[in-house]
Amino acid sequence: MPGVWRLADPKISLASIASMFLGACAAATLGPLDYFWLGATVLGILLIEVGKNASGEIFDFASDTAVGPEDRSPFSGGKRVLVDGLLTRRQTAGVALIGFGGGLAIGLWIAAAREPRILLVGVIGAACAYFYNGAPLRLAHRGLGELAVGTCYGPLIFAGTVLVQRHEIPWSMLAVSLPLGLLIATFLWICEFPDFLADRSAGKRNLVVRLGRRRASFVFPILFAAAAVAIAALPWTGAPRGAAWGLVFILPAVPAAAALLRFPESTRRIIPAQALTLAAFISYAGAAGLGLLFLR
């Protein structure tokens, strides 16, 4: 079904996949991986992703409808399954229920059979996913969405992946997830630019709406710089030196920042920068993960 496939949205799921990949690489430096439980972890998190996307369609319908044709982007503006008539509200709610329910069921199974503490990680993750748009917290509307996304897709998913494998999370390894969280929050930041007018009209006061696009564009390279500083500081946390390979993210980050600074109000010009920002967090996760494996 096209609507369900769009809700699965492989592009956006790359954030959780990147975090799980980095977590799996970190766990592999401490001992052999159990691929059965790794597969269960991946399936549970991806199901929660689908639930998040589906519930977001319902809660964000007003702002998604307000996105003009000139501001459409492959990376923002919602999944538009309701706007485009691919699913009804009832069908979308059903997908959300299946996604959240399936993810939590797998979390309960992992907690009972493998690692009890994963239940807390799963509940926090599911709550952030639902309350990102959902009442009463509506984190994205209160300027807290960027923090929630950075925390969940960086340390939380990473920690859950390592915990299921190793039954512990060394602080030196957890530090490796912090730059990833920053970079994924940076991707959300640039995705809020094409939606600026629609979000503002719908009362969705994320940080880009609160700052305005011109001022928010100056924050964008600062977020990249903060990630670079965090990576450079990893040796002082005791993290394996191979994590420094993640500095390769700078290659796509520099042109992305330059483009947004120059054209903060032009969606057509921002779309390539969105793709580069996506490449930045993927390249960090990939390079840092491989560095952990090969330079322990």
Q: Would you say residue 25 has pLDDT above 80?
A: yes
CB 202 within 8 A of CB 256: no
Per-residue confidence (pLDDT) for residue 3, from 0 to 100: 65
CB 107 within 8 A of CB 163: no
Give tens-digit pLDDT for 140-167: 889 999 999 999 999 999 999 999 999 9
Q: Would you say residue 54 has pLDDT above 90?
A: no
**Stretch 255-271: mean pLDDT:** 96
Percentage, residues of the chain above pLDDT 70: 95
pTM of the model: 0.93
| Cβ neighbours for 23, distance < 8 A, ≥ 6 positions apart | 157, 158, 159, 160, 161, 162, 165, 177
Domains of the chain: 2-294 (1.10.600)
Is the model more confident about 136 or about 27?
27
Q: Would you say residue 79 has pLDDT above 80?
A: no
Characterise 91 by phi-psi region: left (phi > 0), alpha (psi -120 to 50), beta (else): alpha
Per-residue confidence (pLDDT) for residue 27, from 0 to 100: 96
What whole-number distance in Å separates Cα of residue 174 and Cα of residue 237? 9
What whole-number distance in Å separates Cα of residue 34 and Cα of residue 164? 9
Q: For residue 197, which phi and psi values (nearest 5 degrees)?
A: -65, -40
Is the model more confident about 296 or about 163?
163
